Amino acid sequence: MLERIAFLDYDAAVPPETVNDYSFSVVGHLKDFPGHNPAKVDREQDGTQPVGELRRKIAKQRPPNEAVLVSLQGVFFPALLLRSGWWERQQGQALAETIVWQDQLQHWLFSGFERWGPSWDVNPSTNQSEQYLFGQLGEGDEADSLAVIISPSKSGAIRQRLQQDAQAFNVNAKGFLCHRKNLPDADLRRLTGRWGKSFNYCLLISSCEKDHFIEPRVLSAADMYSGYLWQCWMPEECAKVDRSKLKSESFALLEPPQLNQVYFLWEHTDFSNSDAVRYNLDSLEHKASFLQNKRGKLILVQKSSELVKGEQALSREDFYEFLMKPSR
């Protein structure tokens, strides 16, 4: 399913590769790691650097082609960023300006969703102990993040912290900084193949490397990490519903909707602050009530994560398709 995610590019392309003075060290532990050249092994990265510092380096100068061992600190968040400008056309015209909307509120809500691009929790909710954990490591805001892929055997401490009602928290991590095309697992290369250029590089916490880890900084106060809670709602009168499933707790739309049939509600919050999250979840419920008073009974099409109440009616896979190939 995840192979259908397409996180669109926002950052400008990094300059042509010049690696002579790059301050990373090339890792020498995985002889079979794609792109790894033992002849270029320098030394293991000393010390821990903030993830923001690493991102600024990547923006200015490409890392070496070989896998790089890095030690990072930052805020972990279990979602992947849907980049700002996601639906911009090649000529620069935003998709929100190309659609005939039913009302100005709908136009404004989608325009904001498109422009400020929130994150989305794409992690499976079942068999978690057997699944890679996808997230991002950042500072301050979800837009300033590096994609993180955590192997199942290395994800225990993070999953345990997430079960304690924490959504964004400070971590220390050590793993491979690598280009997605050099990921050692063919399935991972396939799954990440359509990420935008902003996530060309990711941090891989590998089960094959005993010194790789990602752990919460328990004694460290959580740094602010702002981002968006969101819901996609559809008036029931516009939905094509499988009536045979209406008696169950959830139902599925027969067809993905058109963009001008849905409303994107969103709230900017601080995911590291549980009170702020509760406050903004309450605000989101009030917005949904306002919309229901305006448009009648609503169907929840999709949502940002399990933090948000409600059973979504459209599968993640169909929702990806809906967003990637929107019907006008």
d(CA 202, CA 149): 7
Q: Can you tell me the mean pLDDT for 24-36? A: 39
pLDDT digits (tens, 9 = 90+) for 228-249: 999 999 998 888 765 555 545 4
Contacts of 103 (CB under 8 A, 6+ apart): none
At 225, give phi and psi (nearest 5°): -140, 100
Its CATH class, for the domain covering 2-82+123-216, is mainly beta
SS3 category, 261: helix
Q: Can you tell me the mean pLDDT for 267-294? A: 96
Contacts of 222 (CB under 8 A, 6+ apart): 75, 166, 168, 169, 170, 272, 273
| Tokens at 156, concatenated | 């225990």
Q: What is the pLDDT of residue 34?
A: 44
Asked if 159 and 187 count as a contact pair (C-beta separation under 8 A), the reply is no
What's the mean pLDDT when you consider all of the chain?
77
CA nearest neighbour of 300 among 260, 325, 263, 270: 263
Q: Can you tell me the mean pLDDT for 144-163? A: 92
**What share of the chain has pLDDT > 90, as a percent?**
38
Instruction: Find tokens 């904001």 and name the residue.
Output: 112
Residues of the chain with CATH 2.40.50: 2-82+123-216
pLDDT digits (tens, 9 = 90+) for 59-85: 888 777 778 899 999 999 999 876 544
d(CA 48, CA 53): 11
Q: 169-179 and 68-77: which strand pairing?
A: antiparallel
**What share of the chain has pLDDT > 70, as a percent?**
73
d(CA 289, CA 283): 10
| Tokens at 162, concatenated | 């997430």
Global pTM reads: 0.78
Asked if 222 and 168 count as a contact pair (C-beta separation under 8 A), the reply is yes
Q: What is the pLDDT of residue 15?
A: 36
